[in-house]
Amino acid sequence: MADYKYLDKINSPADLKMMQEDEIAPLASEIRSFLIEKVEQNGGHLASNLGVVELTIAIHRVFDVPNDHLIFDVGHQSYVHKIITGRKDRFDTLRQGGGLSGFTKRSESESDCFGSGHSSTSISAGLGFAQADKLLQNDATTVVVLGDGAFTGGMVHEALNNCEKDLKLIIVLNENEMSISKNIGGFAKVLTKLRLQSTYIDTKNFVKNVLSKIPLIGKPLFKLLRNTKKRVKDIFYGSNYFENLGLFYVGPIDGHNEKQLEDALRVAKSCKESAIVHITTIKGKGYAPAEENPGKYHGISPKNSKPQTTNFSEEFGKYLTEMAKEDDKVCAITAAMLDGTGLLPFASEFPNRTFDVGIAEEHALTFASGLTAEGMKPYFAVYSTFLQRSYDNVLHDMALQNLPVKICIDRAGLNASDGPTHHGIFDVAMLSQVPNMTLYAPASYESLRKALNEANSLNSPCAIRYNKGEQIEDIINEFKSVNDKIGIKTNFDNAENLNALIITHGNIVEEAIKAKNILLNEGISVGIILVERIMPYTSLAKDILAILPQKPIKILTLEQEIKAGGFGMMLFDKLRQKDIMQNKKFDIIALEDTFADKYGENIYKSFGLDAMSIVCKIKEM
Active site residues: 283, 361, 389
What CA–CA distance (Å, rounded) separates 103 from 415? 14
Angle between helix 258-270 and helix 53-62 axes, rounded to 10 deg: 40
Q: Nearest-CA neighbor of 426 among 445, 436, 407, 413? A: 413
Q: How far apart are CA 288 and CA 460, in angstroms?
A: 48
Burial 459-496 (b: 16+ CB within 10 A, else e): eebbbbbbbbebbbeebeebbebeeeebbbbbbbeebe
What are the C-alpha distances in Å from 454 to residues 322, 323, 460, 510, 533? 14, 11, 12, 26, 11
Give phi and psi for 307, each to the nearest 5: -70, 145
The secondary structure of 97-115, three-state, reads CCCCCCCCCCCCCCCCCCC
Cα torsion at 474, 386, 76, 609 (round to 10°)?
A: -40
Instruction: Mark out the alpha helices in 163-311 (DSSP H runs).
Output: 186-195, 198-212, 218-237, 241-244, 258-270, 288-292
CA dihedral sign of residues 84, 288, 263, 127: negative
Q: Is 231 exposed, middle or buried (0-12, 13-18, 19+ CB in 10 A)?
A: exposed
444 and 454 in contact (C-beta within 8 Å)? no
Angle between helices 445-456 and 312-326 (to 10 degrees): 40
Sign of CA pseudo-dihedral 223, 224, 229, 230:
positive
Residue of 279, 181, 194, 187 whose CA lies nearest to 237: 187
Cα within 13 Å of Cα(72), Cβ side: 25
Asked if 102 and 72 count as a contact pair (C-beta separation under 8 A), the reply is no
Nearest to 528 by CA among 564, 569, 500, 552: 500
CB 161 within 8 A of CB 154: no
As a whole number of angstroms, the distance between CA 513 and CA 521 comes to 13
CA–CA separation, 383 and 405 (whole Å): 16
Classify strands 480-481 and 488-490 as parallel, antiparallel or unpaired: antiparallel
Q: Which long-range contacts (CB under 8 A, 24 or more apart) does 230-236 make?
A: 233/187, 233/191, 236/185, 236/187
Among 422, 555, 376, CA closest to 367: 376
Strands 354-356 and 142-147, sheet pairing: unpaired
